[in-house]
Amino acid sequence: MMADAGRTRLIFIAANPSIDRLYEVEHLTEGTIHRPSVLVARPGGKGLNAARAAAALGARVTALGIVAGRSGEWIVEQLAKIGIDALMARSTGETRICISILDRSTGLLTELYERGQRIEPTAWEALEALVAHELDRADVGALAFSGSLPPGAPTDGYARIARIAARSSVPVLADTYGPALRAVLREHPVVLKVNATEAADATGLTINDGQSAAAAARALREQGAIGVVVTLGMGGAVVVGATCEARLGPPDLRGAYPVGSGDAFLAGLAVALVDGETLEEAARRGMAAAIANALLPGAGSLDRAAAERVLPDVAITASWPR
């Protein structure tokens, strides 16, 4: 869909990154001391989860974002260890920490997500300058952003980055919500990926099946997105583009670590689009990446071979021309 032999690099925007810590306990009991049997710490937040997943899928990735304090330095160090080029604007304070606790007796996750500290206007300006500089290298096939904006960021921050990308003719993939989503839709992202709750909030429609998800996707296209993917968890996904609509069904495979699967979906989608796949096929590859993500602890920590094994079982259950 977007293949250009000279533009193979992917940029992921990590505007509100975090250190993501996953603890596994045999049984989570309120008011008691727990000694985790497993601890995983990763550079996280949705943008970095997607960047790490895309790198695991074989893409050449650059992460751009805003970090603060020693936590921010740790994030940059860890990304360098896994071969991801990370260029970060600096803010004051400390980058947030997000915690997930897996109760192995029930399979349920308890999640504690810090909002993040307020950034200064100069930090956002520095991020925009980094984006412009990297796009000037003329090797970027797509730019993706996901998740929330940090406190203190302009409410149209992602839209501003999308406009910078447009000046370099770089397509944008968006995965956000609320005012940030409304602003970026006016910039016509090539693909918008949202879950059912985010699609419902953006359109005012009730989404409870594939048909209602497709209606929401059409409404989001009318608001400005060129292509839309609405994910439905274990219910699959709906894809609505300029020329075709499709319903995707996942295999009957449920991993124990679903956190970050939406980010892995975005990563697989971006990698496939830059490789020249159609929107429907790119969404299939995104779903395979999401499923592979849930098989390993640590959001965005997927095995490429596992995603390739899953892919044949990701079915296009319905497809029709627009």
CA-CA distance, 19 to 218, in Å (whole number)? Answer: 36
Angle at 87 between CA 262 and CA 183, to 5 degrees: 50
3-state helix, strand, coil in the chain (%, to 5): 40, 25, 35
Rounded to whole angstroms, the Cα distance separating 71 from 108 reads 28
Sorted by where each begins, the domain ranges of the chain are 9-321
H-only helix segments in the chain: 46-56, 69-81, 121-135, 157-167, 178-185, 196-203, 210-222, 261-274, 279-293, 304-310
CB 29 within 8 A of CB 52: no
What is the three-class DSSP state of 139?
coil
The model's pTM: 0.92
CB of 260 within 8 A of CB of 49? yes
HSE-CB for 206 with a 13 A CA cutoff: 1
What local confidence, expressed as pLDDT, does residue 177 receive? 95
Intervals of the chain under pLDDT 50: none
List residues bridging with 145 in a β-sheet.
Answer: 13, 174
Tokens representing 104 are 């192995």
Q: Please, how many CA atoms are within 13 Å of residue 126, restricted to the half-sphere of its CB? A: 14
pLDDT value at residue 321: 67
What is the DSSP track for 298-314?
STT---HHHHHHHGGG-
Query: What number of residues does the chain have?
Result: 322
The pair of structure tokens assigned to 151 is 């406190």
Q: What is the CATH number of domain 9-321?
A: 3.40.1190.20
The whole-number pLDDT of residue 24 equals: 93
Note whether 174 and 44 are within 8 A (CB): no
Distance set, CA 290 to CA 58, 151, 187, 193, 262 (Å): 15, 28, 27, 13, 6
